[in-house]
Amino acid sequence: MYSDDDFGLAELREICFALPDVVEIETHGHPTFRTKKIFAIYGGMTKGAGTLNHPYAVLVKMSPAGIRVVDDDPRFFTPAYYGPSGWVGLDLSVEPLEWDLVRDLVTDSYRATAPKKLVARLEAPRE
């Protein structure tokens, strides 16, 4: 379902692996990034009558307030299966692509799902 040279995957890996204790595991044909829980998924789709594939996307966990903020942004979509649990998809192929935004979304998702010990390492000042 994906190739290592797919658009945006190398950049997403770089962002994810900059976070403490991240591993990548392929699940259902997609790269997932996790600590104890998944915090980012590469690729996604919508479900229902308007099913759309988003092969070059990142799925992240967001707060309800964050979801409302991006609700009208055409770059974002509600992913099949994950959407009801507070996940959103960002289609990396829709302009404008802002890697700082991707980094912020991934980092916030990490904070929401990682164990407190890892979040504390993320927050600690770097020496």
Per the structure, the count of domains in the chain is: 1
Domain that holds residue 112: 9-119
Residue 25 lies in a domain: yes
Taking a C-beta distance cutoff of 8 angstroms, is the pair 59, 82 a contact? Answer: yes
**Cβ contacts of 77 within 8 Å, gap of 6 or more:** 44, 46, 52, 54, 57, 88, 89, 91
pLDDT number for residue 1: 75
* 127 occurs within a structural domain: no
1, part of any domain? no
Pair of tokens at residue 51: 């099913």
Across the chain, which has 127 residues, the per-10-residue mean pLDDT values are 93 98 95 97 85 92 93 92 94 95 97 96 79
